[in-house]
């Protein structure tokens, strides 16, 4: 690579890191079949790319845009995620209106009960009912007031 070519390019693109990225992008474009804007003169693709940048025969804005698009990644949203987002938006409206959303009914012994604590109130009510049936009420096991 000729030193003169790099020094000419630095005048057009002052940041050397940007220069490397843009020249590499142009060299990839040339390798994939893009038309040359200057004569090749038995030079390899990176040297041709640098010469094109130095001579300003290739638009730098479109080269930079192609570079950015090549590094972007799109996150795909599943349809199920969209439904969840819609439901969450509905909950925000309920909270603004002051209405508490109803908890979904969970199956007995499911993971949802332990995770979300849905069945906690039901378990406490059942324990109180069992204590009242025994007649022991609030007495603790091993207490001195236990007559059984």
Q: How confident is the model at residue 92 (pLDDT cuts 50, 70, 90)?
A: confident
State the alpha helices, DSSP H only, in 14-55: 16-31, 45-55
- What's the DSSP call for residue 40? -
| Nearest partner of 56 among 9, 23, 22, 2, judged by Cα | 9
Q: Check if the beta carbon of residue 77 is closer than 8 Å to that of residue 62.
A: no
Tokens of 85: 């987002």
Q: 131 or 39: which carries more pLDDT confidence?
A: 39
Please name the residues in contact with 108: beta carbons below 8 A apart, sequence gap of 6 or more: 119
pLDDT (tens digit per residue) in 11-32:
989 999 999 999 999 999 999 9
pLDDT (tens digit per residue) in 99-114:
665 666 555 555 554 5
In the predicted model, what is the mean pLDDT of the chain?
Answer: 75
Q: Check if the beta carbon of residue 55 is closer than 8 Å to that of residue 38.
A: yes
């Amino acid at each position: 690579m000729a030193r003169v070519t790099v020094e000419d390019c630095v005048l057009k693109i002052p940041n050397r890191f940007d220069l490397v990225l843009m020249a590499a992008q142009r060299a990839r474009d040339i390798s994939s079949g893009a038309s040359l804007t200057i004569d090749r003169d038995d030079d390899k693709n990176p040297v041709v790319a640098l010469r094109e940048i130095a001579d300003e025969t290739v638009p730098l804005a479109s080269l930079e845009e192609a570079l950015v698009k090549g590094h972007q990644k799109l996150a795909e949203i599943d349809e199920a995620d969209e439904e969840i987002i819609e439901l969450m938006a509905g909950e925000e409206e309920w909270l603004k209106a002051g209405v508490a959303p109803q908890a979904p009914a969970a199956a007995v012994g499911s993971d949802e009960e332990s995770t979300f604590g849905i069945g906690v109130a039901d378990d406490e009510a059942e324990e109180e009912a069992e204590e009242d049936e025994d007649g022991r009420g609030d007495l603790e096991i091993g207490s001195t007031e236990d007559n059984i």
